[in-house]
A and B are shown apart, each in its own frame.
Chain A
Amino acid sequence: MKRVAVIVPFALGEADLARRRAQTGEVSLSADIEYDFVPVKAGPSSFQSHHDWLLLDVAVLEAGIRAGESGVDAVVVDTASDSGVEALRSVLDVPVVGPGRASMLFALTLGKRFGVLAQWEPALARVDKSLTEWGLRGHCAGVEHFDTEPDFEKLIGDKGGEVIPKMEAACRRLIKSGADVICLGSTTMHEAHGVLVERLPVPIVNPGPLSYKLVELFLAMGISQSRRAYPEPLVPKPEMIHAMLESVAEGDSH
């Protein structure tokens, strides 16, 4: 049995963690792999500024190092921002998969130009940063949001009746802009994936489940990220990273 850690980018309790874990039920997965959902110890409250992104990079790095120390066979980060992925790849030899870049590249195996569905206006800056960093701007037909404040704990929950028509309208705008595949811009949108697939004429990539399948693929092929692309630090400082996060672990007042 292989073990994969899924790093959840919020310090969630068990009930909210279950909503994240539900993503593993949306795709047929290998019976030989166990997915262990590991929340970060602390993190930002929003996800719309460089301050937030940096905090999440550190928090995911810490949780991923912890997972690596416990001997997991791979790590997935449960955010399409791929926060912490590059830093984790520099210190872990096991595959580290970020759903964001992977979903855009996978979209290009299915079509020519993808569109990204973002949550709301403040989320656009992060998508914009990702497109630049990953060099995929030229392959992106557009980014549209559905103007709904995210609920990182309850996800879409019982608000589907109100939210899904807005998501669908935003997807249709993407298609009109020339998108022939749509990438959900957040793993928290997974609850809407099934309905959107029924209503829209293009493939819709669900980043969380895709990331689990890619982990299986990399493990089956015995490959991992390139050490040349992600060189190791001269002096890794895992104790420092752990100390920083332990000092602010949720439950403390900050």
Chain B
Amino acid sequence: MSSDVFNVLVLVPFPMSADQLAKREEQRDEANLPKNIQLHYQTTKAAPSNYVSAMDYVIADIGLLEAGLDAEEDGFDAVCIDTVSDSGAAALRSILDIPVIAPGRTMFLTAMMLGQRFGVLSMWERWFGLYERTLRELGIEDRCAGIRSIDTQPDSRNLFTGKEEEVMPRLHETAVRLIEDDGADVICLGSTTMHQAHEYLQERLPVPVLNPGPLSYLTAETTLALGLTQSRKAYPRPLVSKTKMISEMLAAAAISEQTEDRS
């Protein structure tokens, strides 16, 4: 069977500069992606300042939904969400027929293919609610050995740049506690923004370390190659799809953010 080229839209959940986006795009080189996968990164028009409350989750959901609305019409073969929160994925799945890959869900289920109980390594305790939400939704709370953080407020735009020496050893130490104290046999990185630490951690830890962004790209390729997509029965369509309303809402949100200068 010949390999088709698959164009995958990667939705980045914050508006950001080209330099900042380049740091997200580095993930494409971390997965030995097959040549037939072309990644196209696109940011949302507006976003919460971080993902720590129910209000933030809702803003993230609507921002990512809007960013992916036209993906199919624009000729993309799949969408990957560049956040472990899986924000917007369920809503996008309800209106797109192309696969929408949710990295959080995918990472936890892949971890269960490699071990018995995974641990989630996070930057910040205030992100725990996001993981707990997905684990509850999937009904796999009992497969999670623990969630630990290095108690550091993350920089979702600049990532670890300039802070590597301080952050990496602490992530390592915390991952060891997940393995030794909590019984994790696979480590899941708690954010796609932690991708810069993946290689460092994998070289030093005795268990598989899952890098959610690159994993989502490879999962997109797998899903497409198998001719699969999300189940319409699990993600039914709306009776009336309000795409225009959603676009206008986000355009308004972007203007509001410029006015307030609080992006």
Contact = CB atoms under 8 A, between A and B. Distances in A.
Contacts of B227: 197
Contacts of A216: 34, 218, 222
Nearest to A114: B231
**Highest count of chain B CB atoms <10 Å: which of A26, A109, A222:** A109
B33 interface: yes
Given A27-B226, A180-B234, A201-B233, A228 B115 contact: yes
Contacts of A175: 233
Contacts of A106: 109
Interface string B101-127: 110011001101111110000000000
Given A105-B113, A226-B115, A226-B207, A217 B138 contact: no
A196 B126 CA distance: 45
Contacts of B33: 220
Interface in B133-152: 138-139, 142-143
Given A27-B226, A222-B202, A229-B185, A217 B234 contact: no
Interface residues of A, number: 49
Contacts of A25: 1
Given A106-B109, A110-B234, A139-B139, A221 B31 contact: yes
A203 B1 CA distance: 21
Contacts of B214: 221
Contact of A202 (B113, B179, B232): B232
Given A105-B110, A203-B229, A111 B234 contact: yes
A252 B137 CA distance: 53
B114 A224 contact: yes
Contact of B112 (A29, A31, A105, A181): A105
Contacts of B176: none
5 contacts: A197-B227, A203-B229, A210-B222, A214-B113, A223-B114
